[in-house]
Amino acid sequence: MSTAVAITAADINKLRQATGAGMMDCRKALTETNGDFEAAIDWLRKQGQKVAAKRSDREAKEGVVIAKTSADNKTGFVVCISCETDFVSKNADFVAFAQSIADAAVANDVKNAEELNEVTINGAKVADMINDKLAAIGEKIGVAKFERVEAPYVASYIHGAYRMGVLVALNKEAAEAGKDVAMQIAAMNPLAVDANSIPAETIERERAIVIETMKADPKMAGKPDEMLSKIAEGKLNAFFKENTLLAQPFVKDGGITVEAYLKSAGDVTVNAFKRVALG
């Protein structure tokens, strides 16, 4: 007696990425074929799905990134619809297609990419619209990235002809400061809001690299560990200044930090940010 194979979310996502089929269709395909990946692709094809299996190994590094907020500016969304060539990504119809999907994300208050694929636009599911577009243009496309934030006020910014989208979650309404900080994030690509927001393992990895680099330096030979640790802390502070948003020099006025700029703008604070770029 055979037992059913457990179908995981990772299996479903792998099949979805390989074929371009919808999440629920991929789940059914894997269930019907007891988890056999190749058989699931055949099952989808037998159901009349426009399967993108032959394109699954192709890179989709181009695309369109849309950043939008809800009407009350309390929720922000970034959606990246990927494709393979800039010929397609720069096409006005493809940009409008991506805009319509981002609009649907906002209108339906979508929480993740899987949910977005199931949303309907004029009676058609986003996943099916993507398959139709794939068939029409002959390139692998899909919802490549999705981010969402909530805050008392969210600012959005699209940089460089839809090549990057930024969301900034603020403690209160501050449209100008929000746009300035979003542009800062686009330009300077910080890792986190502040030092406390950087994962401990990232800090430890950076510290270990700094110490090992110093130990390999002949000028540091024989220096006591205590001295190396103090120097390492100084280098870590420089790392934080360069890689955390609030400590970075403000791009519009290098004489002050982003934190100082926000304070001068009326004690505005950044709760979180998202930066989505192509590639």
**pLDDT tens for residues 135-148?**
899 888 999 999 99
* DSSP state at residue 122: T
Q: pLDDT tens across 62-75, in order?
A: 999 999 999 999 99
Q: Which residues contact 52 (CB under 8 A, 6 or more apart)?
A: 18, 19, 20, 131, 134, 140
**Minimum mean pLDDT among 156-165, 175-184, 219-228: which range?**
219-228
Q: Which residue has the tokens 């600012």?
A: 155
Q: What is the mean pLDDT of residues 249-268?
A: 96
CATH number (domain holding residue 229): 1.10.286.20
What is the rounded distance in angstroms from the CA atom of residue 4 to the CA atom of residue 34? 6
Number of domains in the chain: 3
pLDDT of residue 154: 98
96 domain residue, yes or no: yes
Q: Which domain holds residue 226?
A: 195-271
68 shares a domain with 25: no
pTM: 0.74
| Choice among 31-45, 69-83, 160-174 with the minimum mean pLDDT | 31-45
C-alpha span between 181 and 151 (Å, rounded): 15
Please indicate, yes or no, whether residues 45 and 75 belong to a single structural domain of this protein. no
DSSP string, 36-78: -HHHHHHHHHHTT----GGGTTS---EEEEEEEE-TTSSEEEE
* Whether residue 102 sits in one domain with residue 15: no
Tell me which of 278 and 176 has the higher pLDDT.
176
pLDDT value, residue 52: 55
